[in-house]
Amino acid sequence: ELQTLTGHSSVVYSVAFSSDGKYLVSSSLDQTIKIWSDAGQELQTISEGIDEVLSIAFSPDSKQLALAGRDKTVKLWNIEAKKLQALGQHTEQVTSIAFSPDGKYIASASGDRTIKIWSSEGKELQTLKGHSDAIATVAFAPNSQQLASASADRIIKVWNINGNELFTLKGHTDAIASVVFSPDGNYLASASNDQTIVLWNINVESLKQLGCQSLNDYIST
């Protein structure tokens, strides 16, 4: 254990490091966001216009924060200008948010069973529908052209950036809480309330070598 950072007055929901490793950001039930230095010094507290932020993400250039809130709103905080921008709303609380690795897109997931894709300038580009229950998490692939969503419906869906559903992964027996791509983009790992972690091979070429005509031939149902 290197440090313990204290300053929030209630439950801390989410933390994220900037890509350059210089900053850590945290969000809390106390309706504040705090930015910390890599030495553990509190640099800034953001409270104006902030509700309960359930998920936060740094932009790849470390200049912006994307915020997912219980108030159903997706927001951007410009760190240098200290300016808050509301992008738009879901119809239920926003549970997860992610920047694409190339910095061009933001994805938000919600209890309303949808994922929204936004440009980094704040324009809503796509609304993805297909889950039958609240979505817990969303994550971009390393190439920024695909994203994965996981839901209480026990299903993972992989989409392309244009909003097309590529395939569905089934196998968990309870709600899925988290999903992440491997750095090479060939695998997905998912964590579930069923007390398991599943590693999925999503490399189409390697699956064809196993005799699969399409990825869905390989998926366990």
109-140 pLDDT, tens digit each? 999 999 999 999 889 999 999 999 999 999 99
Whether the pLDDT of residue 220 is over 50: the answer is: no
Enumerate residues 6+ apart whose C-beta is below 8 A from 107. 97, 98, 100, 115, 116, 117, 118, 138, 140, 147
What confidence score (pLDDT) does residue 217 get? 52
Q: Which residues lie below 8 Å from residue 214, measured CB to CB, with a gap of 6+?
A: none
Strands 53-58 and 94-99, bridge-based pairing:
unpaired
Q: Which two tokens stand for residue 201?
A: 């091979």
Q: What tens digit of pLDDT does each residue of 152-202 get?
A: 999 999 999 999 998 899 999 999 999 999 999 999 999 999 999 999 998
Which sign, positive or negative, has the C-alpha torsion 111, 117, 121, 123?
Answer: negative
Cα–Cα distance for residue pair 110/167, rounded to 1 Å: 20
Burial 122-142 (b: 16+ CB within 10 A, else e): eeeebebebbeebbbbbbbbe
pLDDT higher than threshold 90 for residue 104: yes
Residue 202's pLDDT is 86
pTM: 0.88
Q: What is the pLDDT of residues 46-90, one digit of tens each?
A: 998 888 999 999 999 999 999 998 999 999 999 888 899 999 999
Buried b (16+ CB within 10 A) or exposed e, 23-59: bbbbbbebbbbbbbeeeeeeeeebeeebebbbbbbbb
Under 8 Å between Cβ of 85 and 76: yes
Mean pLDDT to the nearest integer, 40-47: 92
Both tokens of 209, joined, read 């070598």
Nearest to 8 by CA among 24, 23, 28: 28
Least Cα distance to 188 among 155, 162, 221, 152 occurs for 155
